[in-house]
C-alpha cells in the first residue's frame, strides 16, 4: 500500500500559490503567441528564435502546470529551477520580439511575482535586479532592436524602477501574508490545545467522581477484608494485598494519563519478568498451564517496543482466560537479526474468524493498532474447537 504523504499547512499554502502561478504562466504564454500571430512584424528580424522561444515557453508552461497539479513543485530546488527558467525564457522572448521596444516588457514582472511568493523580499528583489540587468544589456547592445532607433534611456530607467518597486511591493505582501498565516496557525494550535485541555479536565472530573472513587472504595474494602482474615490464611491475605497494589497502580496510571504523562506499566528490560509473573498468577490462581519461552532468555528491546508488546501480550492472555476456556497456553518470544517474533497458542474453544471480522472487539483492535504502530503486523488463526494461534513480527530498528 502506498504511503500517504503528509503536507504541512505551510506547504499547502505554497502549493496553492504555485498552482495559481502555473495557470498564470500558461495564460502569459498563450497570450504571447496570440499577440505575435496578430502582429507578425514583431518577429521579422529573428523569426526562428522568436518562434522557438514562444513555443518552448508555452510547452514549458504546460509542463509546469502538470507538475504543479501533482504537487511536485513545493521544494526549494524546484522553485529555483522554475524561476531561472522563467527569467531565461522571458529574456529570450524580449530579445527576439523587438528588444527594448518589445510589447512583452511587463512579462518581467512574472518571475518577480513567483520569487516573491516563494521567498518574499529575499527572492523578488534579486530577480528584479537580474531582469533590470538583462533589459539594460539588450538596450546597450542594440542587436535586438528593430529598424527604428532604440527607446530613450529615460524610459529604460523608468521601466527598471517600476520593476524594482513592483518587486518590493510583492515581496513585502508575501512576507506579511506568510507571517499572518503563521500567527493564525499558532492561534489555531493554541485553541486546539486549550480545547483538548478542557476536555481532558472534564474527563478527569468525570473519572474522579466515578471510576477513581469506585477504585478507592474497592481498596478500602479489600483492606477491610484482609484485616478480618485469620492468621492461618496468610496466602489469601497476600493475594488480597496484591489486588490492593494492582488497584493502586491502576489509579496511578489513570491519573498519569489524565495529566498528559506517558504511563510506564513496566521498567525497561523487565518484559520477560513481568510475563513470568502473569504466567504464575494464571497457573496458581486460574489453573491455566502456561509455557513461556524466550530466546534469548533476557530480551534486549527498546523501551517503546517493550511497552507496546507488553500491552499486546497482556491483552492476549486476558482473552485466553476470559473467552477461550483453554487449559494450556504456550507463549514464545524470539529476538533475532533486528526483529522480534512472538506467538501465543492456546488449546481453547477457538472462534469463527469470519464472524469475528464483522464484530471485532476493542481489545483485538487495540492489539492490531499497537503492532502496526511498531511497523509490524499481527496474524490470528482460529476456528471453532481448534484453539487460537496469534503471532506477530516487528522490526527493532
- Of the two residues 30 and 216, the one the predictor is more confident about is 30
Q: Which three cell numbers stand for residue 9?
A: 499547512
pLDDT in tens, 219-257: 777 777 877 778 777 777 777 887 788 788 777 777 776
Q: What is the pTM of this model?
A: 0.46
Domain boundaries, the chain: 9-188, 201-258, 271-395
User: What does the pLDDT read at residue 342?
Assistant: 92
Sign of CA dihedral 277, 281, 284, 286: negative
pLDDT at 311 over 70: yes
User: What does the pLDDT read at residue 344?
Assistant: 92
User: What does the pLDDT read at residue 206?
Assistant: 67
Q: First CA to last CA across the chain, in angstroms?
A: 21
Q: Which residues pair with 344 in a beta bridge?
A: 331, 390
- According to DSSP, residue 380 is labeled E
pLDDT in tens, 172-212: 888 887 788 778 778 777 877 777 777 767 776 666 566 76
Nearest one of 51, 22, 24, 21 to 36, comparing CA atoms: 51
User: What does the pLDDT read at residue 50?
Assistant: 82
Residues in the chain: 397
pLDDT in tens, 256-274: 766 666 555 567 778 888 8
Per-residue confidence band for 1, with pLDDT thresholds at 50, 70 and 90: very low
Q: Which three cell numbers stand for residue 324?
A: 477461550
Distance (Å, whole) CA 83 – CA 111 = 6
User: What does the pLDDT read at residue 245?
Assistant: 80
pLDDT at 4 over 50: no
Strands 377-382 and 339-346, by their bridges, are: unpaired
pLDDT in tens, 31-62: 888 888 887 776 667 788 888 888 898 999 89
What torsion do the CA atoms of 316, 317, 321, 327 make, to the nearest 10 degrees? 110
271-395 has which fold? Heat Shock Protein 90 (3.30.565)
Contacts of 140 (CB under 8 A, 6+ apart): none
The answer to whether 283 touches 320, Cβ cutoff 8 Å, is no
Per-residue confidence band for 360, with pLDDT thresholds at 50, 70 and 90: low
CA distances for 40 relative to 29, 93, 104, 226, angstroms: 16, 14, 14, 104
Mean pLDDT of 87-111: 78
pLDDT at 144 over 50: no
Amino acid at each position: 500500500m502506498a504511503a500517504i504523504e503528509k503536507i504541512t499547512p505551510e506547504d499547502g499554502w505554497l502549493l496553492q500559490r504555485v498552482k495559481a502561478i502555473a495557470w498564470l504562466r500558461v495564460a502569459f504564454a498563450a497570450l504571447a503567441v496570440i499577440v505575435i500571430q496578430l502582429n507578425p512584424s514583431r518577429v521579422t528580424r529573428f523569426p526562428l528564435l522568436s518562434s522557438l522561444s514562444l513555443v518552448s515557453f508555452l510547452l514549458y508552461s504546460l509542463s509546469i502546470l502538470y507538475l504543479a497539479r501533482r504537487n511536485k513543485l513545493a521544494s526549494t530546488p524546484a522553485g529555483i529551477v522554475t524561476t531561472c527558467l522563467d527569467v531565461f525564457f522571458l529574456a529570450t522572448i524580449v530579445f527576439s520580439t523587438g528588444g527594448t521596444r518589445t510589447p512583452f516588457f511587463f512579462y518581467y514582472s512574472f518571475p518577480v511575482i513567483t520569487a516573491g511568493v516563494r521567498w518574499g523580499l529575499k527572492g523578488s528583489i534579486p530577480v528584479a535586479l537580474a531582469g533590470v540587468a538583462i533589459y539594460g544589456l539588450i538596450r546597450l547592445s542594440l542587436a535586438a532592436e528593430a529598424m527604428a532607433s532604440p527607446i530613450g534611456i529615460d524610459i529604460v530607467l523608468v521601466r527598471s524602477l517600476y520593476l524594482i518597486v513592483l518587486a518590493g511591493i510583492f515581496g513585502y505582501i508575501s512576507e506579511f501574508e506568510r507571517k499572518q498565516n503563521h500567527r493564525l496557525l499558532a492561534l489555531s494550535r493554541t485553541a486546539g490545545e486549550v480545547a483538548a485541555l478542557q476536555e481532558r479536565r472534564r474527563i478527569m472530573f468525570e473519572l474522579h467522581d466515578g471510576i477513581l472513587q469506585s477504585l478507592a472504595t474497592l481498596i478500602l474494602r479489600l483492606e477491610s477484608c484482609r484485616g478480618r482474615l485469620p492468621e492461618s490464611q496468610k496466602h489469601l491475605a497476600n493475594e488480597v494485598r496484591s489486588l490492593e497494589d494492582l488497584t493502586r497502580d491502576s489509579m496511578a496510571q489513570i491519573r498519569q494519563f489524565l495529566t498528559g504523562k506517558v504511563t510506564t506499566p513496566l521498567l525497561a528490560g523487565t518484559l520477560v519478568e513481568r510475563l513470568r509473573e502473569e504466567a504464575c498468577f494464571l497457573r496458581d490462581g486460574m489453573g491455566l498451564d502456561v509455557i513461556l519461552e524466550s530466546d534469548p532468555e533476557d530480551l534486549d528491546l527498546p523501551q517503546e517496543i517493550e511497552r507496546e508488546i507488553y500491552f499486546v501480550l497482556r491483552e492476549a492472555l486476558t482473552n485466553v482466560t476470559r473467552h477461550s476456556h483453554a487449559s494450556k497456553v504456550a507463549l514464545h518470544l524470539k529476538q533475532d537479526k533486528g526483529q522480534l517474533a512472538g506467538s501465543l497458542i492456546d488449546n481453547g474453544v477457538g472462534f469463527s474468524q469470519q464472524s469475528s471480522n464483522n464484530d471485532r472487539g476493542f481489545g483485538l483492535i487495540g492489539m492490531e493498532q499497537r503492532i502496526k504502530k511498531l511497523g509490524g503486523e499481527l496474524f490470528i488463526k482460529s476456528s471453532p474447537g481448534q484453539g487460537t494461534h496469534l503471532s506477530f513480527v516487528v522490526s527493532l530498528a
